[in-house]
């Protein structure tokens, strides 16, 4: 396990429901309010990870969900306050809300090295997210660790039979009513159904106290999510409002990144490591291609161009994203950077 302090993330699943009376507003008001809400949510894309999902057609008690990850609780609070400060926010309620945090697993999975290194949320581009709160029985925690390890190993072996389903587990102990939030990303609901049925037969299943409600969420762009609510369509506006003409998005103010500093920023679901090296700005994927470490916590050598992974000693050329030394074999994504009106933009 890598040494040093790890920057974990707070994770929130915010479910919202729209009052049907909103659909009786004029077309002009519907368009204006959808655009206002979308712009408000998009204003937080550099501060936290945001992924939008529709639950229209899969649940009757909620309409859409925002999957969020941030370093501070205040960011999540500010986002919800901003949402409910919009005109459309007056028609929204919160039927469900779940808070959790990333954490290394207490179990060892040597055949699945990524399993316990997921302290940074990295959603896939899967069509669906199947999500539920989870609570173990108290007798589970009284079992010897070795016995629990064996049963969790069985879980992992079952999961490997369904390689197209990816699990995301976050921890809620003391933060919310549940103990875990468990999410499965995939493209085939049938695969998830078969996986859950098989897991019911595992030894660990006998120690489940709660695993409902279950949400089947459909991944969509924010604009498409809002259009799935009904009313006037605004998805065509995305082409002219989502990004500037050169494909850049503002992610930080200049004064947030003095020389020698680094910062994790977001562009939608992409976590980006942003660096100021003697007045030159660089942006690369925050995820190390070898150990999945957060590269924004890494250091840059005195030569000004070598980025060091904080976990396994991998080295990358910060100018190109190409591997330089250490155990890394694959490069990392490099983003374009420009400065404009006191802001740092990436594209």
Q: What is the pLDDT of residues 139-171, one digit of tens each?
A: 999 999 999 999 999 999 999 999 999 999 999
Radius of gyration of the chain (CA): 21
pLDDT value at 58 more than 80: yes
pLDDT above 90: percentage of residues in the chain: 69
Across 55-119, where does the E strand assignment appear?
Answer: 64-70, 92-101
The per-residue pLDDT for range 319-331, each reduced to its tens digit, is: 999 998 888 888 9
Q: In terms of residue numbers, what domain contains 16?
A: 10-238
Whether 269 shows a pLDDT value over 60: the answer reads: yes
Is residue 197 in a domain? yes
Query: For 129, how many CA atoms within 13 A lie in the half-sphere containing its CB?
Result: 25
Q: Which of 102-111, 119-128, 195-204 has the lowest mean pLDDT?
A: 102-111
Of 246, 249, 173, 180, which is closest to residue 208 (Cα–Cα)?
A: 180
Instruction: Flag whether 5 is in a domain.
Output: no
Domain match, 190 and 256 both: no
Contact predicate 66/14, CB 8 Å:
yes
Query: Do 284 and 234 sit in the same domain of this protein?
Result: no
Count structural domains, the chain: 2
For residue 4, is it within any domain? no
Provide the whole-model pTM.
0.81
Instruction: Look at the block and give the residue holding tokens 């020389």.
Output: 259
Is 126 inside a domain boundary? Answer: yes
Helix axes 73-84, 27-42, angle to 10 degrees: 170
Reported in sequence order, the residue ranges of 31-171 that DSSP labels E, i.e. its strands, are: 49-54, 64-70, 92-101, 128-136, 166-171
**Looking at residue 283, what is its pLDDT?**
95
Of 78 and 113, the structure prediction assigns the larger pLDDT to 78
**Could you tell me if residue 267 is inside a domain?**
yes
Say if residue 167 is in the same domain as residue 314.
no
State yes or no: pLDDT of 236 exceeds 80.
Answer: no
User: 220-251: buried (b, 16+ CB within 10 Å) or exposed (e) per residue?
Assistant: bebbbbbbbbebbebbeeeeeeeeeeeebbbb
- Residue 324 domain-assigned (yes or no): yes
Final residue before a domain boundary, out of 215, 238, 261: 238
Q: Is residue 113 in a domain?
A: yes
Q: Is residue 219, in this structure, part of any structural domain at all?
A: yes
- Contact, 97 vs 83, CB < 8 A? no
Verify that 198 and 271 share a domain, yes or no. no
Q: Are residues 142 and 230 in the same domain?
A: yes
φ/ψ region of 204 (left if φ > 0, alpha if ψ in -120 to 50, else beta) reads alpha
Same domain, 301 and 281: yes
Q: Are residues 94 and 146 in the same domain?
A: yes
Distance from C-alpha of 333 to C-alpha of 321, rounded to nearest angstrom: 6
Q: Where are the alpha helices (DSSP H) in 143-237?
A: 145-159, 189-199, 222-228
Q: Are 179 and 200 part of one and the same domain?
A: yes
CATH of the domain at 302: 2.102.10.10
pLDDT at 10 over 60: yes
Of 198, 134, 141, 139, residue with least CA distance to 169? 134
In this structure, are 93 and 115 located in the same domain? yes
pLDDT digits (tens, 9 = 90+) for 329-341: 889 999 999 998 8
When the pLDDT of each residue in the chain is averaged and rounded to a whole number, the result is 90
Task: Examine the domain organization and report whether 275 and 190 are in the same domain.
Answer: no
User: What's the pLDDT score for residue 2?
Assistant: 45
Query: In the listed set 191, 214, 238, which residue is the last one of a domain according to the structure?
Result: 238
Other beta carbons within 10 angstroms of residue 217's beta carbon come to 25
Q: Say if residue 234 is in the same domain as residue 257.
A: no
Say how far apart CA 227 and CA 251 lie, in whole Å.
26
Give the other-Cβ count within 10 Å of 61's Cβ.
12
CB 331 within 8 A of CB 289: yes
CATH of residue 53's domain is 3.30.70.1030
DSSP state of 117: G
Q: What is the torsion angle, in degrees rounded to the nearest 10, for the CA atoms of residue 24, residue 25, residue 26 and residue 31? A: -120
Q: Which residues of 174-212 are buried (b: 16+ CB within 10 A; e: fewer)?
A: ebbebbbbbbbbbeeeebbeebbeebeebebeebeeebe
From 238, 265, 294, the end of a domain falls on: 238
Same domain, 205 and 272: no
With contact defined as beta carbons under 8 Å apart, do 335 and 313 qualify? no
Show Cβ contacts of residue 150 under 8 Å, excluding neighbours closer than 6 positions: none
């Amino acid at each position: 396990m890598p040494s040093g302090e790890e920057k974990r993330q707070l994770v929130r699943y915010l479910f919202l429901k729209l009052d049907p009376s909103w659909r009786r507003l004029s077309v002009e008001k519907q368009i204006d309010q959808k655009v206002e809400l979308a712009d408000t949510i998009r204003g937080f894309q550099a501060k936290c990870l945001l992924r939008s999902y529709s639950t229209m057609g899969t649940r009757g008690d909620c309409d859409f969900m925002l999957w969020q990850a941030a370093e501070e609780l205040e960011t999540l609070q500010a986002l919800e306050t901003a949402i409910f400060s919009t005109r459309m926010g007056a028609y929204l309620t919160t039927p469900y809300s779940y808070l959790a945090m990333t954490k290394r697993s207490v179990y060892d999975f040597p055949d699945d090295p990524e399993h316990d290194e997921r302290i940074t949320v990295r959603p896939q581009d899967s069509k669906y997210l199947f999500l539920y709160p989870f609570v173990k029985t108290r007798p589970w925690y009284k079992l010897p660790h070795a016995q629990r390890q064996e049963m969790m190993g069985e879980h992992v072996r079952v999961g490997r039979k369904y390689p197209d389903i990816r699990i995301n587990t976050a921890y809620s102990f003391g933060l919310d009513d549940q103990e875990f939030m468990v999410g499965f990303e995939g493209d085939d609901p049938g695969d998830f159904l078969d996986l859950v049925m098989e897991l019911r037969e595992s030894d660990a299943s006998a120690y489940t106290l709660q695993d409902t409600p279950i949400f089947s969420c459909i991944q969509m762009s924010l604009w498409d999510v809002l259009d799935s609510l009904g009313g006037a369509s605004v998805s065509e506006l995305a082409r002219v409002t989502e990004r500037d003409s050169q494909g850049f998005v503002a992610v930080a103010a200049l004064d947030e990144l003095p020389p020698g500093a680094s910062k994790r920023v977001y562009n939608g679901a992409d976590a980006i490591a942003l660096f100021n090296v003697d007045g030159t700005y660089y942006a690369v994927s925050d995820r190390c291609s070898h150990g999945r470490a957060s590269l924004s916590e890494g250091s840059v050598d005195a030569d000004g161009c070598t980025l060091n992974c904080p976990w396994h000693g991998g080295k990358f050329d910060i100018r190109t994203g190409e591997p330089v030394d250490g155990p890394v074999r694959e490069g990392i994504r490099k983003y374009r950077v420009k400065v404009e009106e006191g802001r740092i933009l990436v594209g």
